Structure 1
Amino acid sequence: MAAYAKLHWWSNDGVRLHARDYPGDPARVPLVCLHGLTRNARDFAAFAEAHSGERRVIAVDFRGRGESGYAKDAMSYVPLTYVQDVEALLADQGIGRFAAVGTSLGGIVTMLLAGPAKGRLAGALLNDIGPEIEAAGLQRIRGYVGRGSSCPTWLHAARTIEENNRDVYPGWGLEQWLGMAKRLYRLSSGGRIVLDYDLRIAEPFRVPGAEAGPDMWGALAGLADMPVLLVRGERSDLLGEPAMARMAATLPNAERVTVAEVGHAPMLDEPVADAAIRRWLARLD
């Protein structure tokens, strides 16, 4: 496992936030990795193993996840607040130009960063997310987010995840399900295996009209002048192929890649994704 330091900084509203900081060549554009809704910085451990050393990789824990603090106000668990938290990280670390790697929710935050970070955002990788979210995927997310889950052992947690995601990763075996369990869950003080996020992140989903949000097609257009990599899982229920095609048409410097036999979302270590990422990284510098 690649070595990393722990970064801590404070949000504008007083939440102590955390990220993993993997060292790399300071002459190259660093990567800021942003995870999905119920995930955390551990999702990018393999990515950092593959790409740190050559360049700095910072894997963020959004507020309410992993080693970041929980927010007092549950209604701050929204993309625009995560953008402010990332901006606070960049200011704290004195980071000028950077590139963002965003999976799902992290991709939404990446698109929204194009505004406040204009001139500093050097490139973007959007993993299985776009300005339009498929209704089936949104319904699936509403069905599980914020529902507590605990297991007596890691094996039980792995089996639970497999039951809910075998259609997403049909080729996975027990070792991979255990790996996901250890990224998604943590060991509680009571000895149970529990989800590693604040269950209140679901509260903004319950507010009528909250899903409307900002103009995401407008946000996407902010990425037009930089290298962009669009990654989609062939089985994705969140990013449809028509939306992917429109995104590619909107962004003149974008490459699009589809990962076969994978749903939402690719792990980014699949051979086709890894090769595309290396081409994208070469364009950043």
Structure 2
Amino acid sequence: MPGRGSVDVQSRFFAAPDGLSLHVRCYEPEGALRLPVLCLPGLTRNEADFEPLARYLSADSDRPRRVYALDSRGRGRSAYDPDWRNYNPAIELADVVAVAAALDLGRAIFVGTSRGGILTMLMAAVKPSMIAGAVLNDIGPVIEPAGLMRIKGYAGRMQRPNDLQHGAAMLRDLFGTQFPNLTESDWLAWATRNWREDRDGLLPRYDQALAETLKDLRPDQPMPDLWPQFEALPQVPLMVVRGMLSDILSADTLRAMQGRRADLQVVEVSDQGHAPLLAEPVIMEQIAEFMQRCDDRASQG
């Protein structure tokens, strides 16, 4: 375990190109000279998913780096869009570009979970020079229809829990087969990331209108693949983390990705599905070592 240093952690807000307020959780240690990290969450997820990893990377006294975790529009503390049609990858990609510019990141290592990984691949097509390395968390160019239909079945449809303990039980019932080894405290922490307290009770930490973006999904009509976007990723270090119980990123797709990128670094998490939590010390250390590779590559020009 690396030594721990002090880190300034704060929330900052930036304007999207259309003026919508976007929230970023910023982890900024003193003396951080390494490549910064930009974390992009999944479809209905938020920046809190990256807190363990962000603290691990930023507080490493031997190799501290700045870490920024974005709440996409309609998620977490970012503003909800009055038009659900704006919850689409093109507009969200423009948001990422705007936030990266506002943070003056220059080149960064991208960590994208699910939807965030899709945005990372799309970024490669429009701003490849920004990517100094990428971690795709349980996402690839082919998205399995079964997993998409499972997400469609619960996104925006979950009942409101009575309290966080009830919420933890709901999550365990819904995701227990994909995360069989989580403890009661793990499920409670997940519930805390999933709901927020309001005067009317617990509310989801995302705009439930996001469910509208999934309404036309059908199991017999797979999404278009993203092979061109994957192949547009620059020749910088690339890591894929796959949950071995995942129904979104298949083993076949992962093998095909390896066939197209011989230098692809793969981490498979045996007891997790979609998407790996990136919170276990061994996983975080593997990601930290991967980012050292990114630093080394960048220093070579």
Report the TM range for the smaller structure's normalisation. over 0.9
Q: Distance in 2 between matches of 1:215 and 1:266?
A: 22
The alpha-carbon deviation at position 271 of structure 1 amounts to 4.9
Counterparts of 1:75-90 in structure 2 under 5 Å? Answer: 75-90=85-100
Q: Tell me whether 1:50 sits opposite 2:59 in the alignment.
A: no
The more displaced of 176-185 and 92-101 is 92-101
Which of the residues 240, 243, 248 maps onto 2:250? 240
The alpha-carbon deviation at position 81 of structure 1 amounts to 1.3
Which of the residues 28, 39, 49 maps onto 1:33? 39
Q: Partner residue of 1:283?
A: 293
Q: Partner residue of 2:215?
A: 206
Q: Distance in 2 between matches of 1:212 and 1:13?
A: 31
Q: Distance in 2 between matches of 1:249 and 1:80?
A: 28
Equivalent pair of 1:224/1:251 in contact (CA under 8 Å): no
Which of the residues 94, 107, 120 maps onto 2:104? 94
Q: Tell me whether 1:130 sits opposite 2:136 in the alignment.
A: no
Equivalent pair of 1:63/1:70 in contact (CA under 8 Å): yes
Closer, same or farther: CA 236–148 of 1 in aligned 2, 3 Å: closer
Equivalent pair of 1:223/1:251 in contact (CA under 8 Å): no
The alpha-carbon deviation at position 212 of structure 1 amounts to 7.1
Amino acid in the other structure paired with 1:94: D
Amino acid in the other structure paired with 1:276: Q
Query: Is the partner of 1:108 in helix, strand or coil?
Result: helix
- Tell me the alpha carbon deviations over residues 74-101 of structure 1, each in whole angstroms, 9 at most, x when there is no partner: 1111112111101010111222111100
Query: Is the partner of 1:236 in helix, strand or coil?
Result: coil
- Tell me the alpha carbon deviations over residues 13-43 of structure 1, each in whole angstroms, 9 at most, x when there is no partner: 2211101000034421100001111110011
Amino acid in the other structure paired with 2:165: L
Counterparts of 1:136-151 in structure 2 under 5 Å? Answer: 136-151=146-161
Greater than 6 Å deviation, 4+ residue runs = 211-214
Q: Distance in 2 between matches of 1:72 and 1:95?
A: 29
Q: Partner residue of 1:14?
A: 19
Q: Partner residue of 1:108?
A: 118
Q: List gaps (5 residues or longer) in structure 1.
A: none
The more displaced of 149-158 and 64-73 is 149-158
Counterparts of 1:169-184 in structure 2 under 5 Å? Answer: 169-184=179-194
- Tell me the alpha carbon deviations over residues 199-249 of structure 1, each in whole angstroms, 9 at most, x when there is no partner: 11121222479x877751111112240101111011100100010111122
Q: Partner residue of 2:79?
A: 69
Amino acid in the other structure paired with 1:9: F
Equivalent pair of 1:21/1:57 in contact (CA under 8 Å): yes
Q: Partner residue of 1:23?
A: 28
Q: Tell me whether 1:59 sits opposite 2:73 in the alignment.
A: no
Q: Distance in 2 between matches of 1:157 and 1:2?
A: 31
Q: Tell me whether 1:231 sits opposite 2:232 in the alignment.
A: no
Q: Distance in 1 between matches of 2:75 and 2:235?
A: 32
- Tell me the alpha carbon deviations over residues 130-149 of structure 1, each in whole angstroms, 9 at most, x when there is no partner: 11111210110111112153
Equivalent pair of 1:235/1:264 in contact (CA under 8 Å): yes
The more displaced of 40-49 and 249-258 is 249-258
Q: Distance in 2 between matches of 1:216 and 1:113?
A: 12
| Coordinate RMSD, CA, aligned | 1.9
Q: What TM-score results when the alignment is normalised by the length of structure 2?
A: 0.89
The alpha-carbon deviation at position 49 of structure 1 amounts to 1.4
Closer, same or farther: CA 139–120 of 1 in aligned 2, 3 Å: same
Q: Distance in 2 between matches of 1:121 and 1:187?
A: 37
Q: What TM-score results when the alignment is normalised by the length of structure 1?
A: 0.94
Aligned residues: 283
Query: Is the partner of 1:72 in helix, strand or coil?
Result: coil
Query: Is the partner of 2:289 in helix, strand or coil?
Result: helix
Query: Is the partner of 2:22 in helix, strand or coil?
Result: strand
